A = this chain, B = another copy of it.
């Protein structure tokens, strides 16, 4: 399951993308419309800014702006940023690798192979889920 934090981050980004012509978008506006606790959202937006996914404008009429085009921002990036590894086991992650303590031989581990296949397809699916593709889906319906 995605954490609430990740979910909030995705919703915030989709909201900004929908209101891309009204940028910068204030945290308070996002919080209200997406039903996210303001203070919690602030910390999320800060993380997104630190990751260079958003940039911000301070002061009155300030807010947040996308720092990349909506077709460059995908869910794999967001999920990794907030929830860490996408894979089901630490021994098959790219970025957070860790050996399973009890594993005798990683190379021939049958569970590992299954989990690796799942990671591969999931990562691909999350990568193809860009902000623009998400919006496109919503419009098409």
Contact = CB atoms under 8 A, between A and B. Distances in A.
Given A1-B88, A118-B125, A126-B118, A36 B111 contact: no
A11 interface: yes
| Residues of A contacting B: mostly | helix
Given A75-B114, A111-B14, A118-B122, A34 B137 contact: no
B114 A129 contact: yes
A21 interface: no
A2 B138 contact: no
A134 interface: yes
Contacts of A134: 110-111, 114
A44 interface: no
Interface of A: 1-2, 7, 10-11, 14, 34-36, 75, 84-85, 87-90, 100-102, 107-111, 113-114, 117-118, 121-122, 125-126, 129, 133-138, 141
21 contacts: A1-B84, A1-B89, A1-B90, A2-B88, A2-B89, A7-B89, A7-B100, A11-B111, A14-B110, A14-B111, A34-B102, A35-B101, A110-B134, A111-B134, A113-B137, A114-B126, A114-B137, A118-B122, A118-B125, A121-B121, A121-B125
